[in-house]
Structure 1
């Protein structure tokens, strides 16, 4: 699977985990140079508190476009620290 924004591959993995129709990428398979920590957080009733990344490609920022669960609930442990995308980031095979 590949995550692409603005024509740039920002993550690539053959080991994604699918939860609620989202591909979660292992943290080692994201390209760190495109990810900046965000202050934004949300809470999922069953997965726990999500943290976010802004994505930056060629000087353009996509705020809060990637999320992960740094301390996932027991039910979501398999995706702890794995990264998922939205806000126009394409996830394709």
Structure 2
């Protein structure tokens, strides 16, 4: 699977987890140069505390367009070390 944004491949992996309709990519498969940590946090009762990232190129930024669960709840423990992308990112093969 690939995550593509503005013609840039953000992540490529054969180890994507699909949970709740979202595709989660292993962090080591992500080109982190496009990610900027956000101060935004939210709570998801099924997964835990969500930490957000902005997507950025030289001329474009999308706020809070990716997220991870650094310390997911037990039922979502598999998401530790994975990141998902919002609707601005195309997921495909």
TM-score w.r.t. the length of structure 1 is 0.94
Secondary structure of 2:61's match?
strand
Aligned length: 93
Q: Gaps (5+ residues) in structure 1? A: none
Write out aligned runs for 1:13-92 (5 A): 13-92=13-92
TM-align CA RMSD: 0.9
**What TM-score comes out, normalization by structure 2 length?**
0.94
The list of structure 1 runs, each at least 4 consecutive aligned residues, that deviate by more than 6 angstroms after superposition, is none
Q: Could you tell me how far apart the structure 2 residues matched to 1:91 and 1:42 are?
A: 23
Aligned counterpart, 2:4: 4
Q: Give how far 1:91 is off.
A: 0.9
